[in-house]
Structure 1
Amino acid sequence: MKSMLDYINPRNSISARIGISITCLALFLSLASSLFLGIVAQKNAEESIGETLEDLAYQMADKLDRGMFERYREIQIMAQWPEITDPVAAASAKRAILQKMKETYPVHSWIGLTDVDGNVIAGTDGLLEGKNAATRPWFPGAQKGPYVGDVHGALLLAKHLPAPPDGNLRFVDVASPVRDAQGRFIGVLCSHLNWEWAGEIKESLLFEDEREFDVELAVLNNNGEMLLGPSFLRENSLTSLYEKVVARSGDHQHSVQTWPDGVVCLTGYAKCGGYRDYPGLGWTVVAWQPVAKAFAPARKLMFTLLVYGSLSGLLLAVLGWSVVHRLSVPISNIARVADQIRQGNHDIAIKVLPGRDEVATLSSSLSEMLATLNRQNLDLTAARDQLEEKVKKRTRDLEIANAELHGEIFVRQETEAKLRKKEIHLNEAQKIGLVGSMEVDPQENIYWSEQFFRLLGYEPGQVEPSLALLLNHIHGDQRQTFSAFISRADGEEDLEAQVITSDGVTRHCLLRASTVGNETEAAGPGKQLTMVDISERKAAEKLRDEVDRIMRHDLKTPLNAIIGYPQLMATADNLTEAQKGYLSMITEAGYRMLQQINESLTIYKIESGNYQIDLKPVDLVRLINRIRQELYSLADSFRVEVELTRGNRPATKDDAVMAAGEELLLFSMFSNLIKNAIEASPQGAVVTINIAESDGGIGITIHNQGVVAAEVREGFFEKFSSYGKTDGTGLGTYSAKLLAEAHHGQISFTSSEEKGTMLYVNLPTARGAGLA
Structure 2
Amino acid sequence: MFEEQTLTSHAPALRYTNGQLESQFKTILENKQLVNFVESISQMVLILNKHRQVVYANKSYKDFCRQLNHDPLIGKRPGETFNCANAFKSGAGCGTTNACKSCGAVNAILDSQKGKRSTKECQILTTENNALDLEVTASPLDIESEKLTIFSVNDISAEKRRKSLERVFIHDILNSAGAISGLSSILKEIDDAEQLKDIAQTIEGASQSLIEEIQSQREFGAAERGELQLQAKQVNSKDVLSELQRTYAKHELNAGKPILISTESIDCTVNTDLVLLRRILGNMIKNAIEMNVPHDTITLLSKEKQDVVEFSVHNNSVVPEKVKYQLFKRFFSTKGQGRGLGTYSMKLFGEKYLNGKVGFTSSEETGTTFYIQLPK
Provide the TM-score with structure 2 as the length reference: 0.58
In the alignment, the residues of structure 1 paired with residue 338 and residue 161 of structure 2 have an alpha-carbon distance, to the nearest angstrom, of 23
Query: What residue number does 2:63 align with?
Result: 475
Q: Does 1:740 align with 2:350?
A: yes
User: Which is worse superposed, 625-634 or 586-595?
Assistant: 625-634
1:696: which partner in 2?
307
Q: 2:364 matched to 1:753?
A: yes
Deviation at 1:707, TM superposition (A): 1.2
Residue 685 of structure 1: CA displacement? 4.5
1-structure distance, mates of 2:290, 2:191: 42
Matches within 5 A, 1:33-432: none
Higher relative contact order (CA 8 A, sep 6+): 2
Question: Structure 1 residue aligned with 2:23, among 436, 444, 466?
Answer: 444
1:585 matched to 2:202: yes
How far does the alpha carbon of each residue in 1:715-768 deviate from its partner, in whole angstroms, 9 at most, with x for none?
Answer: 101122222x46993222122222212222110122233433232311133xxx
Q: What is the identity, as a one-letter code, of the residue corresponding to 1:677?
A: A
Partner of 2:340: 730
C-alpha separation between the residues in 1 aligned to 2:162 and 2:254? 40
* Alpha carbons of structure 1 residues 709 and 598: separation in structure 2 relative to 1, 3 Å: same
Residue among 22, 37, 46 paired with 1:454: 37
Letter matched to residue 486 of structure 1: I
Measured in 1, the distance between the counterparts of 2:223 and 2:260 equals: 31
Could you tell me which of 581, 594, 597 is aligned with 2:214?
A: 597
SS in 1 for 2:286: helix
What amino acid sits opposite 2:212 in the alignment? Q
Matched position secondary structure for 2:74:
helix
Find the aligned partners of 1:566 and 1:627 in 2 and give their Cα distance: 28
Q: 2:313, 2:370 within 8 Å by CA — same for their partners in 1?
A: yes
Q: Alpha-carbon deviation of 1:656? A: 3.2
Could you say what secondary structure the match of 1:475 adopts? Answer: helix
- Evaluate the alpha carbon distance shift between residue 698 and residue 528 of structure 1 in structure 2; reply closer, same or farther with a 3 A threshold: farther
CA distance in 2, matches of 1:744, 1:738: 10
Q: Which secondary structure state, in structure 2, belongs to the residue aligned with residue 708 of structure 1?
A: coil
3-state DSSP of counterpart to 1:612: coil
- The one-letter code matched in structure 2 to 1:617 is Q
Contact 1:495 1:510 in 2 (8 A): no
Corresponding position of 2:240: 623
* SS of residue in 1 equivalent to 2:303: strand
Specify the alignment match of 1:658 in structure 2: 269
Q: CA RMSD in A?
A: 4.9
Matched, 1:675 2:286: yes
**Aligned partner of residue 718 in structure 1, secondary structure:** coil
Q: Tell me, yes or no, if structure 1 residue 531 matches structure 2 residue 157.
A: no
> Deviation of residue 472 (structure 1)?
9.4
For the structure 1 residues 720 and 452, does the alpha-carbon distance in structure 2 shift closer, same or farther, using more than 3 Å as the test? farther
Amino acid of the structure 1 residue aligned with 2:82: L
1:604 aligns to what SS in structure 2? helix
Whole-angstrom distance in 2 between the partners of 1:720 and 1:509? 12
Q: Percent identity?
A: 21
Amino acid at match of 2:345: S
- Supply the AA of the counterpart residue of 2:154: I
The answer to whether the 8 A contact 1:599-1:665 is kept is no
- The offset of 1:532, in angstroms, is 1.1
The alpha-carbon deviation at position 606 of structure 1 amounts to 0.6
Distance across 2 between alignment mates of 1:480 and 1:689: 37
Structure 1 residues 626 and 729: alpha-carbon distance in aligned structure 2, compared to 1, 3 A threshold: same
Q: Secondary structure of 2:300's match?
A: strand
Q: What's the secondary structure of 1:610's corresponding residue? A: coil
* CA-CA distance at 1:584 after TM superposition: 2.9
* Rounded Cα–Cα distance in structure 2 between residues aligned with 1:728 and 1:759: 22
Maintained 8 Å contact 1:640/1:686: yes
Assess if the C-alpha contact under 8 Å between 2:267 and 2:302 holds in 1: no
Check the 8 A contact 1:620/1:656 in 2, yes or no.
Answer: yes
Asked if the contact 1:681/1:687 (under 8 Å) is kept, the reply is no
What's the CA shift for 1:578?
A: 0.6
Maintained 8 Å contact 1:703/1:759: yes
Q: Give SS of 2:23's match.
A: coil
3-state SS of paired residue (1:534) = strand
Contact 1:669 1:736 survives alignment (8 Å) = yes
Which residue in the other structure is 1:609 paired with? 226
> Which consecutive unaligned segments of at least 5 residues does structure 2 have?
1-18, 42-53, 84-132, 139-145
CA contact (8 A) 2:65 2:82 kept: no
Q: 1:622 to 1:531 in 2, by over 3 A?
A: same
Q: How does 1:490-529 map to 2 (within 5 A)?
A: 493=80, 495=82
Determine helix, strand or coil for the equivalent of 1:664: helix
Q: Which amino acid is the alignment partner of residue 705 of structure 1?
A: N
Give CA-to-partner distance per residue, 1:324-371, whole Å, 9 cap, x none. xxxxxxxxxxxxxxxxxxxxxxxxxxxxxxxxxxxxxxxxxxxxxxxx
Structure-1-length-normalised TM-score? 0.31
**Distance in 2 between residues matched to 1:684 and 1:602, nearest whole Å:** 34
Q: Is the 8 A contact 2:257 2:297 kept in 1?
A: yes
1:714 to 321, 325, 329: 325
Residue 627 of structure 1 deviates from its aligned partner by 2.0
**Amino acid of the residue matched to residue 228 of structure 2?**
Y
Residues 733 and 663 from structure 1, CA distance in 2 versus in 1: closer, same or farther, beyond 3 angstroms?
Answer: same
Alpha-carbon separation, structure 1, partners of 2:157 and 2:289: 36
Q: Assess if the C-alpha contact under 8 Å between 2:312 and 2:369 holds in 1.
A: yes
CA distance in 1, matches of 2:209, 2:57: 55
Structure with higher Rg: it is 1
Change (3 A) 1:641 1:584: closer
The aligned counterpart of 1:540 is 159
